[in-house]
């Protein structure tokens, strides 16, 4: 698929060894190691407990990892069941398949419960529901619309689209047949994007139950026999303790940065940090923050339909801003950077699914803010390059002072708050004002100020 991913519808002079960019690998390694240990730790439970895991938002690698951990925790605690409270518009095909494999291979029965009222199981959510040992929905919910959509900056041709649809259709039909559910409707949800309410889903044998809440669901599940890969199990859930499994700080952080808008902001922070570091070498902090922000942004981009033309335009904007530091373009490069940044930002996420796009209301003010910041830094740098040196020996040239002795040809002057030995080609009398012509060691060559 040519690297594409598919989703289911929906200060100068510092020593080189101290350059801040050299600190980035170690800093990022420590940061990622810290994240790796921020795992969720479910409390130990008794054998009559039921674990409840809320699966909300886009199905991505973070969601898949969370579901796998929930099932593993239930197995470890010998829980009666795992209830996945599902509310999703869809997500990545690869992540959906990871979840389905975990459900199918689970020793503990998995119950997918589309809830609360107003929730939906669209796209990838249909596959997850069909794969579950028990499928339930709350009143006021819906399920369906599982047609696959290409992700990754391009359109599928007719042949490829047919292959993808056939593959998804066969997959969901197999899952439905394995659980004794309506395989024909499941296939139509892929081929025709059909969607039904909870009442219709129950009539069509798409789901098993409709319940208002988790306690009511557990009461209805009590005594139900379900077939797992490890054999048949009879659920004993009446009065069982329902314990919600928290996602954990690490997964919450990774889920948050997987949002397209958050990923875009992180990318802009990364660009600004690196740009500020390059314009002021040796500050360290902006470069480290910018580097970490860029790594987190690129982590998020692996789960999003990134258009590489848009990414290249954003990189081109960064180049324009950096060149502006060295070239006096009278604002032309800054304007070019703004145009490139806005176009690249609009093109960055290429998908027909609204929940995967970057908000235009975020793009415009962010792009303008970044451009204004770059313009200010470039202007300060240009002024610094053009300004007269005011310190050191170069700063003395052109300065004025007062002769403290007669100078014929040598004597003493007072310049910039200090006494200097001086000489002059023309005689200068004590008390006269002088101008520094040049500096030779600790002596100044002066001339009478006209």
CATH code of 402's domain: 2.40.50.140
Catalytic annotation present for 155: no
Looking at the fold, whether 194 and 147 belong to one and the same domain comes out as yes
For the chain, helix (H) and strand (E) counts, in that order, are 15, 19
Catalytic annotation present for 163: yes
Our count of domains for the chain comes to 3
Q: Report d(CA 375, CA 329) in Å as an integer.
A: 11
For residue 416, what pLDDT is reported?
80
- Of 348, 371, 386, the domain-final residue: 386
Two structure tokens written together for 285:
């902090």
List, for residues 186-199, the tens digit of each pLDDT value: 999 999 999 999 99
341 domain residue, yes or no: yes
Candidates 163, 192, 429, 449; catalytic one: 163
The CATH code of the domain that includes 71 is: 3.90.226.10
Length of the chain: 450
11 domain residue, yes or no: no
For residue 253, what pLDDT is reported?
85
Candidates 95, 106, 123, 424; catalytic one: 123
Looking at the fold, whether 101 and 118 belong to one and the same domain comes out as yes
CA distances for 371 relative to 268, 279, 324, 340, 349, angstroms? 11, 15, 11, 11, 21
- Of 248, 269, 302, the domain-final residue: 248
Looking at the fold, whether 195 and 319 belong to one and the same domain comes out as no
| Domain ranges, residue 430 | 392-448
- Of 386, 406, 429, the domain-final residue: 386
List, for residues 309-328, the tens digit of each pLDDT value: 888 999 998 888 888 777 76
DSSP string for residues in 39-74: ---PPP--TT-EEEEEEES-B-HHHHHHHHHHHHHH
Question: What radius of gyration, in Å, describes the C-alpha atoms of the chain?
Answer: 34
Nearest CA among 150, 146, 124, 125 for reference residue 194: 146
303 domain residue, yes or no: yes
253 domain residue, yes or no: no
List, for residues 343-360, the tens digit of each pLDDT value: 998 888 876 666 677 888
CB atoms under 10 Å from CB of 408, counted, come to: 12
Q: Is 149 helix (H, G, I), strand (E, B) or coil?
A: strand
Looking at the fold, whether 301 and 429 belong to one and the same domain comes out as no
254 domain residue, yes or no: no
Let me know: does 257 contact 296? Beta carbons within 8 Å. Answer: yes
Looking at the fold, whether 364 and 415 belong to one and the same domain comes out as no
Looking at the fold, whether 276 and 219 belong to one and the same domain comes out as no
DSSP-assigned letter for residue 245? P
CB atoms under 10 Å from CB of 1, counted, come to: 12
List, for residues 207-222, the tens digit of each pLDDT value: 999 999 999 999 999 9
């Amino acid at each position: 698929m040519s690297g594409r991913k598919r989703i289911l519808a929906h200060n100068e002079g510092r020593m080189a060894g101290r350059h801040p960019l050299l600190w980035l690998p170690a800093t990022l390694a420590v940061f990622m190691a810290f994240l790796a240990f921020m795992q969720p730790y479910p409390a130990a439970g008794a054998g009559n407990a039921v674990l409840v895991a809320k699966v909300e938002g886009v199905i991505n690698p973070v969601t898949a990892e969370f579901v796998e951990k929930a099932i593993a925790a239930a197995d470890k605690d010998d829980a009666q069941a795992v209830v996945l409270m599902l509310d999703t518009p869809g997500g990545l095909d690869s992540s959906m398949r990871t979840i389905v494999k975990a459900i199918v291979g689970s020793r503990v029965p998995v119950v997918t419960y589309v809830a609360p009222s107003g929730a939906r199981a669209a796209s990838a959510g249909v596959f997850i529901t069909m794969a579950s040992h028990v499928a339930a929905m709350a009143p006021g919910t819906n399920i369906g619309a599982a047609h696959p959509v290409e992700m990754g900056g391009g359109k599928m041709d007719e042949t490829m689209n047919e292959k993808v649809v056939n593959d998804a259709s066969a997959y969901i039909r197999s899952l439905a047949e394995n659980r004794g559910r309506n395989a024909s409707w499941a296939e139509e949800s892929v081929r025709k994007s059909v969607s039904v309410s909870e009442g219709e889903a129950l009539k069509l044998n798409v789901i098993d139950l409709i319940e208002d809440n988790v306690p009511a669901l557990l009461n209805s599940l009590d005594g139900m026999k379900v077939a797992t890969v490890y054999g048949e199990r009879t659920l004993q859930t009446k009065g069982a303790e329902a314990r919600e499994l928290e996602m954990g700080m690490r997964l919450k952080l990774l889920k948050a940065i997987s949002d397209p808008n958050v990923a875009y902001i992180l990318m802009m922070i990364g660009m600004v940090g690196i740009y500020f570091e390059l314009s002021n070498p040796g500050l360290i902090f902006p470069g480290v923050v910018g580097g970490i922000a860029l790594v987190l942004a690129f982590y998020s981009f692996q789960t999003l339909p990134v258009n590489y033309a848009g990414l290249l335009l954003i990189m081109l904007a960064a180049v324009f801003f950096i060149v502006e530091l060295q070239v006096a373009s009278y604002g032309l490069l800054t304007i070019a950077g703004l145009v490139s940044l806005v176009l690249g930002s609009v093109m960055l996420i290429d998908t027909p699914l609204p929940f995967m796009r970057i908000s235009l209301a975020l793009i415009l003010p962010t792009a303008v803010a970044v451009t204004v910041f770059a313009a200010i830094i470039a202007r300060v740098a240009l002024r610094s390059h053009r300004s007269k040196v005011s310190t050191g020996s170069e700063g003395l040239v052109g300065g004025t002072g007062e002769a403290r002795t007669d100078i014929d040809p040598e004597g003493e002057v007072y310049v910039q708050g200090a006494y200097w030995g001086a000489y002059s080609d023309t005689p200068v009398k004590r008390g006269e004002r002088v101008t520094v012509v040049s500096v030779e060691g600790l002596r100044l060559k002066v001339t009478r100020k006209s």
